[in-house]
C-alpha cells in the first residue's frame, strides 16, 4: 500500500474535519479546565510526608517540649503515658504482634516514624486538627517515640533525625500477596462442589444471648415489608432498647464512661468488680434505685428515677456485655 498522500483526498478529509469539529462528539483533550496552581497554593496544601522523608518540613522539637504539649492537648484522650484504650493506644504492645493477643499500638505496629509525623500534623489534636506548628509536631513525635523507648529522653527530632528513626516493626509488613491488583493471586482456593460436599457440619459459634440484646430491638430492626418473613422478639429482657441505649438515654453516661471513670467508676470496672458474683445484678439494681456511696470512691451516687425494668437491662448490659 502506498504511503504517499493523495492530495485531492487529503483536501477532502480536511474539509470534512473542519465541518465536524464543532459538533457533538468531537470534544477531545486537553480541556484545560481549572486554574494553574501557584507555588504558594501548593505549599500550603502539600502536607504529606513519605517514609523516605519527602515532604518533611524544616523545624525541630525535643521530647521535653513534646511532653508539655502532650499533657496539655493529648493526654485527656490518649492517657498520660499513651496507654488509654479509649482512643488509639500510642504506647506499649512491643513484641506482641506475633502472639495470640496482639496489642496494636503506634509503638508496636507502625513501621515508619515519618508516618506518625504526617498523621499528627494533618489530623491531631482530634478536635483541632492542623493547629500545631511544625516544631510542635516534631516535639510530639519525639515524645510519643520516647513513650515507646524508641528515642531517649534527651532526643531532638528534626528532618534528618526523624528519617533515621528505626521503628521496632519496620520489617513487619509485606506486599507479597494478591490484593494489590485486580488480577492478583488469591490465597484461598475453594471449589464450587455441589453435592455431598461434607459429612461434618458442626456449629462452631452462635450468637451469645447478651450480644442479641446489646444491639437493641433486633425484631424491629429486621422487620421487612412485603414478605412472610417477619420478626422475632428474641430479645430476652431488653424490650425498649439495648442497655447502651438505655444508659445513654437515662443519663448514666454523664458520670460513668464505658471504660473510663468520670465522676463514678467506668462500667467495665464495675463489671470486673462483680465478676462471678451471682448476687451482683440484684445488688446493683438496688444501688441504682436507692443510690449509694463508698464502693468505688468518695463521690456518692444519687438515686435514679429509671424504671426497674430499665435498670435491670442496664445492669445486665454492664455485667455481661462489658466484662
What part of residues 253-272 is at the interface with other proteins (CB under 8 A)?
258
Q: How far apart are CA 240 and CA 310, in angstroms?
A: 8
Contact 130, 144 (CB under 8 A): no
Q: Quick check: 26 binds other proteins (CB under 8 A)? A: no
Question: Stretches 11-19, 38-46, 157-165, 297-305: which one binds other proteins (CB under 8 A)?
Answer: 38-46
Residues 6+ apart with CB under 8 A from 97: 103, 104, 108, 109, 169, 172
Decide whether 63 or 242 has the Cβ nearer to other proteins: 242
Q: How far apart are CA 38 and CA 237, in angstroms?
A: 63
Question: Stretches 12-20, 26-34, 63-71, 276-284: which one binds other proteins (CB under 8 A)?
Answer: 26-34
Binding to other proteins (CB under 8 A) within 282-321 occurs at 321
Decide whether 2 or 205 has the Cβ nearer to other proteins: 205
Q: How far apart are CA 142 and CA 146, in angstroms?
A: 6
Count of other CB atoms within 10 angstroms of residue 178: 11
User: Shortest gap between Cβ of 11 and other proteins (angstroms)?
Assistant: 31
Count of other CB atoms within 10 angstroms of residue 289: 15
Residues, the chain, total? 323
Q: Which of 32, 58, 276, 294 touches other proteins (CB under 8 A)?
A: 32
Count of other CB atoms within 10 angstroms of residue 7: 8
User: Shortest gap between Cβ of 271 and other proteins (angstroms)?
Assistant: 12
Binding to other proteins (CB under 8 A) within 120-139 occurs at 122-123, 126, 129-130
User: Shortest gap between Cβ of 52 and other proteins (angstroms)?
Assistant: 7
C-alpha cell at 128: 483541632
Q: Quick check: 104 binds other proteins (CB under 8 A)? A: yes
Decide whether 72 or 123 has the Cβ nearer to other proteins: 123
Binding to other proteins (CB under 8 A) within 159-198 occurs at 172-175, 177-184, 186-198
Residues 6+ apart with CB under 8 A from 286: none
User: Shortest gap between Cβ of 309 and other proteins (angstroms)?
Assistant: 10
Binding to other proteins (CB under 8 A) within 201-230 occurs at 201-208, 211-212, 214-230
Q: Quick check: 244 binds other proteins (CB under 8 A)? A: yes
Q: Using only C-alpha atoms, what is the Rg of the chain?
A: 31
C-alpha cell at 94: 512491643
Q: Which of 65, 69, 93, 112 touches other proteins (CB under 8 A)?
A: 112
Helix (H) or strand (E) holding 222: helix 218-222
Q: How far apart are CA 184 and CA 246, in angstroms?
A: 47
Q: Quick check: 40 binds other proteins (CB under 8 A)? A: no
Q: Quick check: 114 binds other proteins (CB under 8 A)? A: yes
Amino acid at each position: 500500500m502506498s504511503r504517499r498522500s493523495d492530495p485531492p483526498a487529503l483536501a477532502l478529509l480536511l474539509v470534512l474535519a473542519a465541518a465536524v469539529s464543532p459538533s457533538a462528539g468531537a470534544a477531545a483533550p486537553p480541556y484545560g479546565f481549572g486554574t494553574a496552581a501557584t507555588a504558594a497554593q501548593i505549599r500550603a496544601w502539600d502536607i504529606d510526608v513519605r517514609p523516605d522523608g519527602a515532604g518533611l518540613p524544616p523545624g525541630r522539637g525535643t521530647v521535653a517540649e513534646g511532653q508539655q504539649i502532650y499533657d496539655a492537648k493529648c493526654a485527656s484522650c490518649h492517657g498520660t503515658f499513651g496507654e488509654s484504650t479509649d482512643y488509639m493506644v500510642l504506647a506499649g504492645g512491643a513484641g506482641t504482634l506475633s502472639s495470640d493477643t496482639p496489642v496494636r499500638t503506634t509503638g508496636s505496629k507502625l513501621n515508619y516514624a515519618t508516618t506518625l509525623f504526617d498523621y499528627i500534623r494533618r489530623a491531631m489534636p482530634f478536635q483541632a486538627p492542623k493547629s500545631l506548628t511544625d516544631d510542635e509536631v516534631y516535639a510530639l513525635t519525639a515524645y510519643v517515640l520516647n513513650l515507646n523507648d524508641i528515642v531517649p529522653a534527651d532526643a531532638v527530632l528534626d528532618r534528618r533525625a526523624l528519617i533515621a528513626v528505626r521503628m521496632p516493626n519496620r520489617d513487619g509488613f509485606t506486599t507479597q500477596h494478591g490484593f494489590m491488583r485486580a488480577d492478583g493471586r488469591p490465597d484461598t482456593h475453594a471449589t464450587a462442589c455441589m453435592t455431598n460436599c461434607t459429612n461434618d457440619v458442626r456449629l462452631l459459634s452462635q450468637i451469645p444471648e447478651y450480644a442479641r440484646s446489646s444491639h437493641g430491638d433486633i425484631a424491629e430492626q429486621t422487620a421487612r415489608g412485603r414478605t412472610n418473613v417477619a420478626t422475632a422478639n428474641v430479645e430476652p429482657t431488653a424490650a425498649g432498647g439495648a442497655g447502651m441505649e438505655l444508659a445513654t438515654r437515662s443519663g448514666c453516661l454523664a458520670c460513668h464512661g464505658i471504660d473510663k471513670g468520670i465522676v463514678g467508676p467506668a462500667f467495665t470496672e464495675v463489671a470486673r468488680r462483680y465478676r462471678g458474683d451471682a448476687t451482683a445484678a440484684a445488688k446493683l439494681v438496688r444501688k441504682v434505685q436507692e443510690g449509694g456511696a463508698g464502693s468505688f470512691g468518695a463521690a456518692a451516687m444519687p438515686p435514679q428515677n429509671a424504671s426497674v425494668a430499665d435498670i435491670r437491662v442496664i445492669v445486665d448490659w454492664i455485667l455481661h456485655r462489658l466484662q
